[in-house]
Structure 1
Amino acid sequence: MKKMLSMLFLALSLNASDIGISKALTLEEAIEILKSKNLEIKSASFDVDSARAEIKTASGSHWGKLDFIQDFSNSNDAGNVFGFKLTSREADFNDFGFDEFLAQMGGLPGNTNTLLATQPDNLNYPDSRNFFQSKLKYEVPLFTGFQISSYVEIMESMSKMKGLEKEQVINEQVYQLRKSFYDMALLRSSSKNLNKILSNIKTLEKMTEEMIVVGYAKKVDLLEVQAKKGNVERLLLQMKSNQELLYHYISFLLNEKVNNITTTVSDVVMPEFSNDYILDNNLDIKRATTGLEVRQSMLDVSKSAYYPMIGAFAEVSTADDTFLGDADDHKAYTVGARLTWNIFNGGIDGAKIEKSRIDQLKTKTQVELAKKGISLKVDEIRTEIETYNLEISSLKKELKLANEIYKNYEGRYREKLVSMSDVIIKQSEQIQKILELQKAKNKRNERIFALEKLANGENR
């Protein structure tokens, strides 16, 4: 029974995953899903985590390193064998050939030269020997000319940079999502207007059929109406297809199947923030400023070459011809410190410092350029929005006029004062104004979203 319930639960889960989100999503809900499930945002999050790990890597150098070293050797080389015995504190006089020396002591002093010229066999031709050495070694930098701390600062700045890049990814994805929601609202609004026109055309079609019966209209009039109806139906079909494409794109952004969303108004409210606020919050400028911090730290790294490097080390070891044999008796230690100071290297360090200083000045110039560029872009966008506001206001009036003209011509057609062609022309103008208004609103919304993106609008 438990297995059956588990299988049923799994099947329901898989089915739900295929179906996706069934309820109508609001924009706020979609943004929350986007931030947790969008694949590009997840990828950017991994970059941030990786950068944070780099900080720990750089900072860890302050603490030095502790190594355990285990050596095993076997040799019959005279120097090695004697060194093995000496390291393991087991060398004796016999290793120097004292047995041969003592055997010839009786002939002294007559054979002194011969005795001294004797080559000790034990020392020159020893038997092969095993050597096991266990060593614990700790090395720590005491002073590096601020090099390590500068590298840590670089890694911290790079981590900050990755965080800003992640914010940019979030900003861009939210921008695309919001734009898709408002595009959907515009499509729905335009479809609603076109459906009203289609309803009017159907009414006109029915009226034309009745007028043909009584002889007040011709068949060609009916064909014109039907042709216009087909044109409107085609436009509606295109808008439906565009809505389906938007659902596919929204599903891609959310990494989740979306079948329905809730839209409210089709016009985006103009944000109220100053140019100074945008410059203070713009991510490109923040990244450029962080890049300047990196350049300063790199200059500090270059300057570290003028300072001495001081390090200390300590090690304990034990050695024997067996693993850890007589370890306590054969133990040894070594402690020490080293100072390294480069006095002259042909001016290479000075050239590196000069290059780092030039790179810093270049980055500083790029920061100023980024600020000027963003200011220019903000002014351009604000001007475009004002232009689109005037265009939309004008198109709304033109659409209202086109609606009234169409109604007027429809009534006059009933009285046989105008032809069906005249009515169709006015209806075409009505449709054209709807499409132009949708296009203008789309462009205005896109520009407002672009302005908000420059101010890091959704993440401020």
Structure 2
Amino acid sequence: MKKMLLAVACAMPLLAVQQNLSLEQALDLVRQNNLEVKVAEKEVLMKEQEHKEAVGYNFGRLDLVVNALRSNDAGNVFGFKLQSREASFADFGFSEFLAPMGQVLEAMNANPGGLPAGFTQGMGSILDIQPKDLNDPDARNHFQEKLQYQVPLYVGGKLQKYGQITDKMTAISKLDRQKVLNQKLFETRKTYYNISLVDNFIRNLNQILKNVEELEETVQNMVDEGYALDIDLLQVRTKKADVLRMINQAKLNRDLAYQYLSFLVDDEVRSIVVLDNDVPMPRMTKEEMLSRNIDIQKAHMGLEVTDLAVGVEKSSFLPQIGAFAEYGSADNTFLNDFTDKDAYTVGVQLKWNIFNGFTDYAKYEKAKIQNMKMQHQVDLAKKGIALQIDKIITSIKSKDYDIQSLREKVKFTKRVYENYYSRYKEGLMSINDVLIKNSEEIQAVLSLVKTRFERNNKVFELENIINKGIL
């Protein structure tokens, strides 16, 4: 029993659903759970690491190098002994040189001014000796441990520019992440308000259905009393079927919207707090709207990146200076007598390219052209987005006027229908006239919902463009 309760408790988070979800709660869930936002966040982290990588090059590189070698190559063996500070005259073959040399000295002492037989005045026979110790040494082990440090001292400002470029690219990736988040929040708010509008539409349709059912009951009574025909009742029931079909379609659309909302928040949503009001229009100047736009901000940062890129290419015409330091020890046994056989090397290198076929100049000119192109793109982004904002604001104002007019039309068609219904009961109107007015009321309600839907979407689109209320 305890195991069962534990299993149920562990499974509860997986079975949790969102009931009566408010708009703010939905937006918070998107910020926390949306998978596309999480992907964009990982891209930001990658750019941050790229910036750290670029900055890190300024501090140079320190390597620990350990070599374990064995060789009988004459050059290698002699070099090994030199690095181990163990080279001797014997390694040069002096053991094979001193014996003949001693004979020469003895002969010269015994016969001053003369040479032993076989020796020329230039002593060529001694010089032609190929010492075995030097040319054919025994194989030797060699272990070398050393620290190597290389650091750029001056590279024409290239590393500094790279660091600034990667910093800007990180900032751009954050704007990209914000744009993804804005889009998901925009879709969430749009879906949330659409559900509210559909719910409101269903309520209106249910009221119309109630009116049609009342009409159906009245016609039924009039048919029973002989004041109406069966065809009248069939027409009313046909209208009732149409209203039921519209209600069912609206409920299916609402269910689909709930499924999409669940996808956006990455959790199951079964109900929301329905909103009856329309989305308020943002209140700010045109300049504020443009300054908040993410695409324009990205364009400005892109321009700064191209400015820095010009500096990177310009650095190719300047000298590059680097420093090098090495400290280590070597022996035929690993880490043997390290401090007695240690050695160091330090140095500075200057490298200055004088000519490479004008390729650096071509790259520099290309970077300048790219910078000028980016300046035009910034201007184009400003003008294009300004035009887009103007079109959206004009559309919203038009929809506001249409909504105001349609609200009056809904009230008017409802009163007309009620009037026709009353006159039908008095025998002054045909059932066909009543049903036409009922259809006009339904059409007016549908038009109002559709226009409110379009108007809200335009406001959300504007908020998404101007990055309002989301940061």
Q: TM (normalized to structure 1)?
A: 0.97
Q: Does 1:114 align with 2:122?
A: no
Summarize deviations over 1:38-70 as a string: whole Å, max 9, x none.
Answer: 111111111111111111100001110100001
The answer on whether the counterparts of 1:182 and 1:266 sit within 8 Å (CA) in structure 2 is no
Q: Which residue of 2 aligns with 1:18?
A: 15
Amino acid paired to 2:325: A
Summarize deviations over 1:210-267 as a string: whole Å, max 9, x none.
Answer: 1111101111111111111111111111111111111111111011111111122241
Q: Which residue of 2 aligns with 1:100?
A: 96
Amino acid paired to 2:35: L
1:305 and 1:130 map into 2 onto residues whose CA distance is 45
Q: Which residue of 1 aligns with 2:150?
A: 139
1:20 Cα offset (Å): 2.2
Q: Which residue of 2 aligns with 1:128?
A: 139
Q: Does 1:61 align with 2:72?
A: no
1:10 Cα offset (Å): 4.2
The answer on whether the counterparts of 1:48 and 1:159 sit within 8 Å (CA) in structure 2 is yes
Task: Give me the identity figure in percent.
Answer: 43
Matched residues, number? 456
2:16 and 2:344 map into 1 onto residues whose CA distance is 70
Q: Which runs of 4+ in 1 moved over 6 A?
A: none
Summarize deviations over 1:257-297 as a string: whole Å, max 9, x none.
Answer: 11111122241111111111111100000011111111111
1:177 and 1:350 map into 2 onto residues whose CA distance is 51
Q: Which residue of 1 aligns with 2:358?
A: 347
Q: Does 1:402 align with 2:419?
A: no
Q: Which residue of 2 aligns with 1:39?
A: 35
Q: Which residue of 1 aligns with 2:186?
A: 175
Deviates more, 1:41-50 or 1:261-270: 261-270
1:352 and 1:106 map into 2 onto residues whose CA distance is 71
User: Of the candidates 224, 227, 237, which is equivalent to residue 216 of structure 1?
Assistant: 227
Summarize deviations over 1:400-440 as a string: whole Å, max 9, x none.
Answer: 11111100111111111111111111101110111111111
Amino acid paired to 2:64: F
Q: SS of the residue aligned with 2:62? A: strand
1:325 Cα offset (Å): 1.6
Amino acid paired to 2:9: L
Q: Which residue of 2 aligns with 1:423?
A: 434
Q: Does 1:315 align with 2:315?
A: no
1:10 and 1:344 map into 2 onto residues whose CA distance is 75
Q: Which residue of 2 aligns with 1:299?
A: 310
1:16 and 1:246 map into 2 onto residues whose CA distance is 23
Q: Which residue of 2 aligns with 1:265?
A: 276
User: Of the candidates 16, 23, 27, which is equivalent to residue 27 of structure 1?
Assistant: 23
User: Of the candidates 173, 189, 195, which is equivalent to residue 200 of structure 2?
Assistant: 189
User: Of the candidates 205, 213, 216, which is equivalent to residue 205 of structure 1?
Assistant: 216
Q: SS of the residue aligned with 2:433? A: helix
Q: SS of the residue aligned with 1:325? A: coil
Deviates more, 1:111-120 or 1:99-108: 99-108
Summarize deviations over 1:371-425 as a string: whole Å, max 9, x none.
Answer: 0001100110111111111211221222111111100111111111111111111
Deviates more, 1:391-400 or 1:103-112: 103-112
User: Of the candidates 73, 82, 89, which is equivalent to residue 86 of structure 1?
Assistant: 82
1:106 and 1:268 map into 2 onto residues whose CA distance is 112
The answer on whether the counterparts of 1:267 and 1:441 sit within 8 Å (CA) in structure 2 is yes
User: Of the candidates 411, 424, 436, which is equivalent to residue 447 of structure 2?
Assistant: 436
1:432 and 1:123 map into 2 onto residues whose CA distance is 108
1:76 and 1:158 map into 2 onto residues whose CA distance is 54
1:382 and 1:107 map into 2 onto residues whose CA distance is 113
2:273 and 2:199 map into 1 onto residues whose CA distance is 11
Amino acid paired to 2:391: E
Q: Which residue of 2 aligns with 1:149?
A: 160
Q: Which residue of 1 aligns with 2:385?
A: 374
Q: Does 1:165 align with 2:176?
A: yes
Q: Which residue of 1 aligns with 2:399?
A: 388
2:13 and 2:253 map into 1 onto residues whose CA distance is 25
2:82 and 2:10 map into 1 onto residues whose CA distance is 72
Deviates more, 1:297-306 or 1:101-110: 101-110
Q: Does 1:285 align with 2:296?
A: yes
Q: Does 1:75 align with 2:71?
A: yes
The answer on whether the counterparts of 1:183 and 1:266 sit within 8 Å (CA) in structure 2 is no
Q: 1:290 to 1:10 in 2, by over 3 A?
A: farther
Summarize deviations over 1:111-131 as a string: whole Å, max 9, x none.
Answer: 221011100011111111111
Q: RMSD across aligned C-alpha pairs, in angstroms?
A: 1.3
Q: Which residue of 2 aligns with 1:458?
A: 469
1:8 Cα offset (Å): 2.8
Summarize deviations over 1:142-163 as a string: whole Å, max 9, x none.
Answer: 1110000000000000000000
Which protein shows a greater Rg?
Answer: 2
Amino acid paired to 1:45: E
Amino acid paired to 2:5: L
1:28 Cα offset (Å): 0.8
1:105 Cα offset (Å): 1.9
The answer on whether the counterparts of 1:189 and 1:266 sit within 8 Å (CA) in structure 2 is no
Q: SS of the residue aligned with 1:269? A: coil
1:16 and 1:66 map into 2 onto residues whose CA distance is 50
Amino acid paired to 1:43: V
Summarize deviations over 1:63-87 as a string: whole Å, max 9, x none.
Answer: 1010000111111111111111111
The answer on whether the counterparts of 1:132 and 1:322 sit within 8 Å (CA) in structure 2 is yes
Amino acid paired to 2:42: F
Amino acid paired to 2:15: D
Q: SS of the residue aligned with 1:458? A: coil
Q: SS of the residue aligned with 2:469? A: helix
The answer on whether the counterparts of 1:186 and 1:266 sit within 8 Å (CA) in structure 2 is no
1:237 and 1:155 map into 2 onto residues whose CA distance is 55
Q: Does 1:255 align with 2:279?
A: no
